[in-house]
């Protein structure tokens, strides 16, 4: 049996803590936590209080040195610096999305990295996406994809502590944080993203976008996309739909796979899980993929090339 893969974590915010808890919940024969570092003393104190069994490292270099694979969950502008340092040390990299905020630098990084990195798009391991893939053949030809997202406020209520960067044009906004997931899903099920026409609205000075509209292609499938803030009472509303001549399937609220019936109603998959129920399943599958990545084995994680394609579309939307 292979030795467990040691995963070090850079970033102890919401995503870093979530991944850390997921690592601790897995079999120690699969993965183990090599340690964590965040420049915020407050974040490190929180981790020390809640998860005292996890080694706290003095800096990012110490995390990298202790790891087989480095999980990067710091703000996006810092991603590639940490990723390059990890690769230079001979480690693999599992990075939060977006890959970065500078497209040219991301292209250079992807060319440098080879197959030693992946990006955390959980739809790569989602039970609901597996269900959609099983249903996809039933929709027939002349396919089209529609993506709709909306938020009561941005950032969402549970992200308020990160508003310092999540609601700024440089690194934040719902297009990078949320729409990117559904663009990845469109690419994974349809093909490469291209042919973009888009507009984005920034009505509040210095703040992130409040509305976007876009048309593009996923392979040979047309995609329409709308996103807005302040247009729903829900913290987070999202629908991804694939429709064809013979039917339609959709993903609602991140994890609920549904199939349209002949009478126009929607039938949910009988084993559908809520987002809270689905998250640990997807995280376990993601971590199984991380172990394969670190060992140089084939995996289903989002590749750097897929993440770059998503980033190129996202940044072009925001610049439009």
Quick check: 218 and 112 in contact, CB under 8 A? Answer: no
Closest CA to 169 of 244, 76, 249: 76
Quick check: 208 and 179 in contact, CB under 8 A? Answer: no
Give the pLDDT score at 1: 57
Closest CA to 69 of 49, 100, 90, 39: 90
The domain limits of the chain are 5-121+280-294, 124-275+309-319
* Sequence-distant (≥ 6) Cβ neighbours of residue 240 within 8 angstroms: 145, 146, 147, 182, 185, 186, 250, 251
What's the pLDDT tens digit per position in 119-133?
999 999 999 999 999
Work out the angle at residue 272's Cα, subtended by the Cα atoms of residues 266 and 278, and round it to the nearest 5 degrees.
135
* Buried residues in 228-237 as b, exposed as e (16+ CB within 10 A): bbeeeeeebb
Q: Which numeric CATH code is attached to 124-275+309-319?
A: 3.30.360.10
CA distances from 118 to 17, 114, 124, 242 (A): 19, 10, 11, 26
Quick check: 34 and 66 in contact, CB under 8 A? Answer: yes
Fold of 5-121+280-294: Rossmann fold (3.40.50)
What's the pLDDT tens digit per position in 90-123?
999 999 999 988 999 999 999 999 889 999 999 9
* Sequence-distant (≥ 6) Cβ neighbours of residue 42 within 8 angstroms: none
What's the pLDDT tens digit per position in 23-51?
999 999 999 999 999 999 999 999 999 99
What's the pLDDT tens digit per position in 211-242?
999 999 999 999 999 999 999 999 999 999 99
């Amino acid at each position: 049996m292979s030795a467990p893969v040691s995963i070090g974590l850079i970033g102890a915010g919401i995503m870093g803590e979530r991944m850390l808890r997921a690592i601790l919940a897995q079999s120690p024969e699969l993965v183990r936590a090599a340690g964590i570092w965040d420049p915020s003393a407050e974040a490190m104190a929180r981790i020390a209080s809640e998860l005292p069994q996890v080694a706290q490292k003095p800096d990012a270099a110490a995390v990298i040195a202790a790891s087989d694979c480095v999980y990067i969950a710091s703000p996006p502008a810092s991603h590639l610096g940490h990723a390059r340092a990890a690769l230079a040390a001979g480690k693999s990299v599992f990075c939060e999305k977006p890959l970065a905020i500078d497209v040219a630098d991301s292209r250079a990084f992807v060319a440098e990295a080879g197959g030693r990195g992946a990006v955390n798009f959980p739809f790569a391991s989602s039970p609901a996406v597996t269900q959609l893939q099983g249903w996809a053949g039933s929709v027939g030809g002349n396919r089209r994809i529609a993506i709709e997202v909306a938020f009561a406020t941005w950032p969402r209520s549970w992200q308020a502590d990160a508003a310092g960067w999540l609601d700024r044009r440089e690194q934040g906004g719902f297009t990078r944080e949320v729409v990117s997931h559904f663009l990845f899903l469109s690419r994974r099920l349809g093909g490469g993203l291209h042919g973009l026409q888009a507009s984005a609205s920034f009505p509040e000075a210095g703040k992130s976008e409040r509305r976007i509209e876009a048309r593009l292609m996923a392979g040979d499938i047309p995609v329409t996309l709308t996103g807005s803030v302040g247009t729903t009472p829900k913290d987070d509303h999202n629908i991804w739909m694939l429709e064809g001549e013979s039917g339609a399937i959709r993903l609602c609220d991140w994890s609920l796979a549904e199939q349209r019936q002949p009478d126009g109603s929607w039938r949910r998959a009988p084993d559908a899980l809520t987002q809270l129920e689905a998250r640990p399943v997807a995280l376990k599958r993601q971590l199984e993929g991380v172990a394969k990545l670190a060992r140089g084995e084939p995996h289903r994680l989002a590749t750097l090339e897929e993440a770059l394609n998503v980033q190129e579309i996202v940044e072009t939307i925001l610049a439009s």
